[in-house]
């Protein structure tokens, strides 16, 4: 299993705070059946700046430590970029790091809204050869209230990633139900942990895939696993035509 979104690098954001934390997270990931993690520290949010060169160096250091500890886990480079107006400029000067140096870029919205310039920025990203991947849209308040915002972004080429813990129900029933509606409407393409530690924000990947397989079948669960593999290889992922979530269906999440 591949985890595309994880805060496992030590001491650079609100994830692992020490190398010991990173090692403990690595062991927990292997227990979950994860063999590859894309390390995606926060970049350009209100608290953290983690440019490309720093992340690459830290990933190399952690991989060496995992070998020393005999932990069968591979760490790849990535970044969770908070959306901002100079994002493309940051990419051009070498500060922005897509997933494993591919075209897939994890983009985070503020938790309570979607900036009005997002659609134009996503278009410009695609014109520059990048594919924006909206992380944890199921936890964005404006998307929950107006899911057509996400539908329009996906319809125009964006992808999305839902958090495993959301599917398991760790963020409450409303967010769990909305996450499942996103799957049903072909509005998400990846499942990842967004793990920050081994306690409150752990991996939950196996739990999430059990929910998906039970509710939607093995083929859908396999599609999400395969998409993660395709993404780190820089290949086109599987995606069906998105559907809008009708207001009547939306009421069912409350």
Task: Render pLDDT for 13-49 as a digit per residue (tens, 0 to 9).
Answer: 999 999 999 999 999 999 999 999 999 999 998 789 9
The CA distance from 209 to 80, in Å, is: 23
How sure is the predictor about 3, in pLDDT bands with cuts at 50, 70 and 90?
very high
Each residue of 198-247: pLDDT tens digit? 988 999 999 999 999 999 999 999 999 999 999 999 999 999 999 999 75
Share of the chain above pLDDT 90, in %: 94
**Which of 110-114, 147-151, 195-199, 246-250 bottoms out in mean pLDDT, i.e. has the lowest?**
246-250
- Whether residue 18 contacts residue 4, with contact meaning beta carbons closer than 8 Å, is answered with no
SS3 content of the chain, % helix, strand, coil (to 5): 45, 15, 40
The CA distance from 230 to 142, in Å, is: 30
The chain-wide mean pLDDT, for the chain, equals: 95
Tell me what pLDDT residue 247 has.
57
- Whether residue 164 contacts residue 192, with contact meaning beta carbons closer than 8 Å, is answered with yes
Report whether pLDDT(254) > 60: no
Report whether pLDDT(248) > 70: no
For 173-186, what is the mean pLDDT?
A: 97
Tell me the Cα Rg of the chain: 17
Tell me what pLDDT residue 30 has.
97
- List, in order, residues 6 or more apart from 173 with CB less than 8 Å away: none
Tell me what pLDDT residue 200 has.
84
- Whether residue 114 contacts residue 141, with contact meaning beta carbons closer than 8 Å, is answered with no
Q: Kindly state the DSSP code that residue 111 receives in the 8-state scheme.
A: T
How sure is the predictor about 252, in pLDDT bands with cuts at 50, 70 and 90?
low
Report whether pLDDT(131) > 80: yes
The CA distance from 197 to 174, in Å, is: 24
- List, in order, residues 6 or more apart from 214 with CB less than 8 Å away: none
The CATH class given to the 2-251 domain equals alpha beta
For 100-111, what is the mean pLDDT?
A: 97
pTM reported for the whole predicted model? 0.95
């Amino acid at each position: 299993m591949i985890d595309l979104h994880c805060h496992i690098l030590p001491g650079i954001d609100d994830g692992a705070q020490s190398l010991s934390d990173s090692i403990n997270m690595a062991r927990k990931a292997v227990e979950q059946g994860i063999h590859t993690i894309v390390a995606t520290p926060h970049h350009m949010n209100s608290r953290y700046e983690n440019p490309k060169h720093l992340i690459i160096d830290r990933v190399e250091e952690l991989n060496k430590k995992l070998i020393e500890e005999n932990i069968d886990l591979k760490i790849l480079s990535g970044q969770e970029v908070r959306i901002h107006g100079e994002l493309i400029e940051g990419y051009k000067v070498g500060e922005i790091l897509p997933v494993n140096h591919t075209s897939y870029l994890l983009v985070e919205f503020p938790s309570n809204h979607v900036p009005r310039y997002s659609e134009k920025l996503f278009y410009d990203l695609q014109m520059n050869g990048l594919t924006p991947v909206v992380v944890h849209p199921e936890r964005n308040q404006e998307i929950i209230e107006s899911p057509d915002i996400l539908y329009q972004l996906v319809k125009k080429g964006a992808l999305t990633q839902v958090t495993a813990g959301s599917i398991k129900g760790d963020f409450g029933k409303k967010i769990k139900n909305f996450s499942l509606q996103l799957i049903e409407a072909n509005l998400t393409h990846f499942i990842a942990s967004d793990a920050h530690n081994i306690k409150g924000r752990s991996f939950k990947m196996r739990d999430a895939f059990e929910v998906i397989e039970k509710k939607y079948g093995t083929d859908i669960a396999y599609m999400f696993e395969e998409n993660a593999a395709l993404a780190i290889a820089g290949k086109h992922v599987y995606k069906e035509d998105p559907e809008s979530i009708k207001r009547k269906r939306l009421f069912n999440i409350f």
